[in-house]
């Protein structure tokens, strides 16, 4: 076992898995399938193959390309964190960051806001151990000292890297992911549990709403994988003609986000006393909706990686 300790952060989300060592960042889709008996054409190119406890899985793009969709792990389950599928994504991320197969690691990861209290202790206990696994045939035996923090709250630590005085304020963080949204409040650097919560609203609901609108208004369907680009640019090309869709997309976002806005408002009472940051992959798409109830909300720099980078800042400066 290596004596040198490496610090990394891994955020296994329901839609994306992200990782960083402070200098290098990466992400891939949170898709996990068992290794099929027959992979088919091009499968010899598969690079994300992981074996844990005698079970072999494909993850990320390889799971999407070669795995059976009917066998995908359920990333929305309340028992997802620490499950064998979660482990496949977590240890695949670890392997992308470490060169020493016998590395000694300090690792921080996160949990959705509403699952933090009931799941934190079990996940922490699992992490703090020596773990054996193989990625693409390479054997690893990794010793981990692990910490678990709320995903939404962790983004604040990235902001504090630029301005530490923000830890003296009352700050609200909204973390909008693929399937879920978490929101958290920190006051004077302390986590305030009764003002922190989450809901099952995220980018996936906006994508489906836009797909339905497109079918209703234009009479055609589109691959959902292409929709995030349309949502970002707020325009799309159809039969040789470019259509502006900013107004329609903003209205769809407000409609989709209403349960999220109601939950946040019930906990924050308008958030007039808070500095509010919005993070996560869904941040750019829902800002118009959030500003309906919180006009002073602002999107974080590097919103997509804000949570996992914040985890690493926490590990580097607090843990």
Q: What is the CATH number of the domain that holds 117?
A: 3.30.420.40
The count of domains in the chain is 1
- Full domain range(s) for residue 31: 5-151+310-317
What is the pTM assigned to this prediction? 0.86
257 part of a folded domain: no
Please give the backbone phi and psi of residue 269, each rounded to the nearest 5 degrees, phi first. 50, 45
Tokens 């369907």 locate to 221
With 60 as the cut, is the pLDDT of residue 123 above it? yes
pLDDT tens sequence across 282-298: 998 899 899 999 999 99
160 part of a folded domain: no
143 part of a folded domain: yes
pLDDT tens sequence across 31-60: 999 998 766 555 556 678 999 999 999 999
288 part of a folded domain: no
31 part of a folded domain: yes
pLDDT tens sequence across 193-209: 889 988 889 988 999 99
Q: How far is CA 219 from CA 31, 222, 232, in A?
A: 30, 10, 22
With 70 as the cut, is the pLDDT of residue 225 above it? no
Q: Are 110 and 154 in contact (CB under 8 A)?
A: yes
268 part of a folded domain: no
Q: Are 170 and 187 in contact (CB under 8 A)?
A: yes
Helices 246-268, 283-293: axis angle to 10 degrees equals 60
Nearest-angstrom CA–CA distance, 183 and 198: 6
Q: Are 14 and 80 in contact (CB under 8 A)?
A: yes
Which residues does 197 contact at the CB level (< 8 Å), separation at least 6? 113, 114, 182, 183, 263, 264, 267
124 part of a folded domain: yes
β-bridge partners, 10: 19
């Amino acid at each position: 076992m290596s004596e040198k300790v490496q610090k990394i952060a891994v955020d296994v989300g329901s839609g994306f898995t992200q990782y960083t060592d402070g200098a290098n960042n990466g992400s891939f889709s949170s898709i996990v399938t068992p290794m099929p008996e027959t992979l088919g054409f091009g499968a010899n190119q598969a690079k994300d193959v992981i074996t844990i406890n005698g079970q072999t899985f494909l993850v990320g793009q390889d799971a999407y390309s070669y795995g059976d969709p009917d066998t995908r792990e359920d990333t929305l389950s309340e028992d997802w964190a620490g499950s064998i599928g979660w482990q496949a994504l977590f240890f695949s991320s670890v392997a992308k960051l470490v060169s020493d197969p016998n590395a000694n690691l300090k690792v921080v990861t996160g949990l959705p806001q509403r699952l933090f209290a009931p799941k934190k202790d079990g996940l922490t206990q699992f992490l703090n151990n020596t773990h054996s696994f193989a990625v693409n045939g390479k054997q690893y035996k990794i010793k981990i000292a692990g910490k678990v923090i709320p995903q939404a709250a962790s983004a604040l630590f990235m902001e504090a890297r630029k301005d530490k005085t923000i830890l003296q304020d009352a700050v609200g963080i909204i973390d909008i992911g693929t399937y879920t949204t978490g929101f958290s409040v920190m006051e004077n650097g302390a986590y305030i549990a009764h003002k922190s919560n989450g809901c099952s609203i995220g980018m996936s609901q906006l994508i489906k709403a836009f797909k339905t609108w497109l079918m209703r208004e234009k009479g055609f369907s589109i691959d959902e994988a292409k929709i995030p680009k349309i949502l970002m640019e707020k325009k799309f090309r159809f039969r040789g003609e470019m259509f502006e869709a900013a107004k329609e997309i903003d209205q769809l976002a407000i409609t989709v986000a209403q349960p999220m806005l109601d939950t946040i408002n019930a906990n924050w009472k308008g958030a007039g006393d808070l500095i509010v940051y919005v993070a996560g992959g869904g941040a750019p798409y829902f800002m118009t909706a959030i500003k309906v109830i919180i006009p002073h909300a602002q999107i974080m720099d590097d919103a997509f990686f804000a949570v996992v980078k914040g985890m690493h800042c926490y590990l580097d400066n607090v843990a």
